[in-house]
A and B are shown apart, each in its own frame.
Chain A
Amino acid sequence: MDEPRRTERRRRALHAARAVTISLALGVGATGCSQSHGPRGDAGAGPSDGGAVTDASLLADAGHDAALADAGPIDCSGSNWWEHEECCDLNGGFWTGHGCAIPGPFVPPDLPA
């Protein structure tokens, strides 16, 4: 996959994702969407919103779930827990041979008032 093609594909994918977030029919919230999110407004690969989000952990690891069960000598609460078959099993995942795949569904977390 050459890089320009990949970048263009990502631009189109982000445009598709952005398009579904527009709530035009209600006329509330999301003000100004129609002006600011035309096809050429997509940022492509990099964060373009000027926000403070610079977290790169998505590409490496972000697993640090304090409540994940302990799998013996392996700390399943640490980063990259899905690289351990024991932790994968504990979390209901499928071990692919080199990583854990969780089939879902993705269920939201609970938080009482």
Chain B
Amino acid sequence: MGRLRLDVGATPLASEHRRLLATALRRGDTAPEPPPGERVDASAHPPEAIARALGTWARRAVHEHASAAVFSRLLPQLMEAEAPLELQTVVLRTSMDELRHAALCAAVVERLGGEPTFDADLATTPLPEHAGCAPIERALRNVTFACCLCETVSVGLLSAEKEETTEPRIRAVVEQLASDEILHARFGWTYLALAWPALDDLQRARFVEWLRRGFARLERDMLASMPLAPPGEDRAIALAAARLGVLDAREARELLRDTLETVILPRLEEHGVSARRAWRERTSMAR
């Protein structure tokens, strides 16, 4: 465990960090980073909604920060798999986006009156190597999970969340996250379209076998990240939390199901992946 801090330091590279945010990572005319010291008017929201939002945005900060390591670890796998240069560039941009997201989520926590540093396990998890698989199989499996599955679901969730978020500064953050996740998901589907046709029959069969586990892992982790409200909770709390960027868990779960069933599975099938079978036969395996 360690202490995760997400503020910009005082080294000579701080200006380069800010320059990257304003140039390479820029989307739109307005930066989502909040002015220092700005706070949400807590009296305008129920305390329970503030508490829920604080917890959710804190977890997001930790999640986004660790995700930067996942994407940066995709780079050597893409290099080994002879992926085109633009994919290698974009995967690094994706990693930088995740670092920015972590800082933005921490800024929301601070804006809500919380402490923007977090106790977290700072040891990151290596990406699977899928021993015995060809480099392209290895890269495709990991890209598929991170981008075609996770990021595509995130696009839908953030899109819905964006509509409900009325607190202006928080909405700007949700919009930034949503915009960036679109690129992250597109990256995955682009690589799938490139790599899948290059696999032979055995490699494709192995991919579908792996996908059974991938779906189970996705389902398990995503549902766990969407804890349901206590039974009998006042509906007004969920509505108020939604205004602070926290989509109701039941709606989020419905959206997860619908995105899988009506978007991801059909699209994977169009690429030639037996995704419906893998989904039906998904098997929960070791974390």
Contacts and interface: CB of A to CB of B under 8 A. Distances in A.
A62 B70 CA distance: 25
Contact of B284 (A13, A20, A22, A65): A65
26 contacts: A1-B242, A12-B163, A16-B156, A17-B159, A17-B185, A20-B151, A20-B155, A20-B185, A20-B189, A28-B193, A29-B197, A30-B189, A30-B267, A46-B258, A49-B261, A51-B265, A55-B257, A55-B279, A59-B254, A63-B224, A67-B286, A67-B287, A94-B55, A97-B230, A106-B150, A109-B286
B111 interface: no
Contacts of B21: none
A98 B226 CA distance: 11
B197 A14 contact: no
A97 to B, nearest CB: 8
Secondary structure at the B interface, as helix, strand, loop or mixed, is helix
B220 interface: yes
B251 to A, nearest CB: 7
A59 B254 CA distance: 6
Contact of B263 (A17, A59, A94): A17
Interface residues of B, number: 99
B216 interface: yes
B250 interface: yes
A interface residue count range (under 10 / 10 to 19 / 20 to 34 / 35 or more)? 35 or more
Contacts of B186: 20
A110 to B, nearest CB: 3
The 9 closest A-B pairs by CB, nearest first: A99-B227, A113-B132, A108-B145, A110-B128, A67-B286, A23-B193, A17-B156, A104-B63, A58-B257
A45 B285 contact: no
B220 A29 contact: no
Contact of B251 (A6, A52, A91): A6
Interface stretch (B27-35, B39-47, B269-277): B269-277
Interface of B: 55-56, 59-60, 62-63, 66-67, 69-70, 120-121, 125, 127-133, 137, 141-142, 144-146, 148, 150-153, 155-157, 159-160, 163-164, 178, 182, 185-186, 189-190, 192-194, 196-197, 206, 209-210, 213-214, 216-225, 227-230, 239, 242, 248, 250-251, 253-267, 269-272, 276, 279-280, 284-287
Contacts of B260: 53, 58
Secondary structure type dominating chain A contacts? loop
A73 interface: no
Contacts of A32: 270
Contacts of A71: none
A61 interface: yes
Q: Which of A16, A56, A94 has most chain B Cβ within 10 Å?
A: A16
A88 B18 CA distance: 37
B189 A106 contact: no
A28 B227 contact: no
Contact of B67 (A51, A53, A55, A104): A104
Given A102-B224, A107-B125, 20 more contacts: A13-B155, A13-B156, A20-B155, A20-B185, A28-B193, A42-B262, A51-B266, A53-B261, A53-B279, A59-B254, A66-B284, A66-B286, A67-B285, A82-B223, A99-B228, A101-B224, A104-B221, A110-B129, A111-B209, A111-B210
Contacts of A9: 160, 163-164
A23 B125 contact: no
